[in-house]
Structure 1
Amino acid sequence: MAEPDHPAEPAPKRRRFWPLLLGCGAALFLGGGAFYATYSGMISLPGASAATAQPAPSAFVQIPPIVVAVGSPVRRSHLRFAAQLEVDPARAAMVTEQMPRILDVLNSYLHALEPHQLEEAGALARLRGQMLRRLKMVLGEERVNDLLITEFVMN
């Protein structure tokens, strides 16, 4: 028998999986150690000190309840709304003096709403954002921190 012209192909090299296995093990070990060091407080992250800092003191100014007729004259509903404004304690007296202006802005906005806008999912969060934006325009951006809705009832 004649020998073939082509030499036999060398057997493919077996891949070694040890470096891959050692690399994965080292990554797990170092990741676990970093997590433990951060979780136990041995290492503090740059943003962590701001998260643990005491919040700035705030005062709350009560907005008197507002009752507004909502909808068409044929199908009229009433909305009862009450809220509080979160303000800096040094500015609480100034915000209280501006209560007629605050009531005017909120009354005008709530009166312009349609009943279907109040019944939509997420309506309260959207309305809160709109009212807070209007209050910041009237009172000033730095004077109002937040609007907390305490009563929102529609019959």
Structure 2
Amino acid sequence: MSSEAKPEKQGGKGKRKLLLLALPLLLAAAGAGLWFSGILPKLLHGGGEEAHAEHAAPPPRAPVFFDMPDIVANLSVSGRRASYIKLRSKLELARAEDAGPLQAAMPRLLDLFTTYLRELRPEELRGSAGAQRLREELIARANLAAPPARVTDILFTELLLQ
């Protein structure tokens, strides 16, 4: 009788090994299926739309605009005839609190803008590409002038070349 019990134990060991190998694979496959179907992430994050609504991005803030004084500067020309630019613009700020530091840095800001404009040639300002390059350069200079303040855009209300 003892000889008959041994084969059953060996067969039981083989089934155990198979079960120990197959069970983790089966659980991993089920977990992957739940994850990629989107069920598991919802369960882990509190489930449902309520949790998603709480973590949603806040609504965008209303833009804050800061009026710049008019700037008139002569452009860099090689001929005898002078060429001028008149620029009226508004700065779009990231926050309303940025207006104070920007106002305090206005002399530096005007100096940076005027110095840059005086180095430009009239050909560099032609077309929409020229206006876009001017916008990018002035935004960079505005952010340098008042470091805590952040200028996100500059809007040209008047741009005259003469």
TM-score (norm. length: structure 2): 0.58
Residue equivalent to 1:80: 86
* Structure 2: 5+ residue stretches without partners: 1-51
TM-score (norm. length: structure 1): 0.61
Number of aligned residues: 107
Question: Which aligned runs of 4 or more in structure 1 are off by greater than 3 angstroms?
Answer: none
Q: Aligned pair in 2 of structure 1 residues 97, 142: CA closer, same or farther (>3 Å)?
A: closer
For residues 7-51 of structure 1, what are the alpha-carbon distances to aligned partners after superposition, in whole Å with 9 as ceiling and x for unaligned? xxxxxxxxxxxxxxxxxxxxxxxxxxxxxxxxxxxxxxx9xx65x
Cα shift at 1:58: 3.5
Check whether the contact 1:57–1:89 (CA below 8 A) recurs between aligned residues: no
Cα shift at 1:75: 2.4
Residue equivalent to 1:61: 66
Cα shift at 1:120: 4.9
* Structure 1: 5+ residue stretches without partners: 1-45
| Partners of 2:150 and 2:132 in 1: CA distance | 21
Check whether the contact 2:90–2:156 (CA below 8 A) recurs between aligned residues: yes
Q: Which has the higher helix share?
A: 2
Residue equivalent to 2:44: none
Cα shift at 1:121: 5.0
Q: Which of structures 1 and 2 has the bigger CA Rg?
A: 2
Q: Which has the higher strand share?
A: 1
Residue equivalent to 1:110: 117
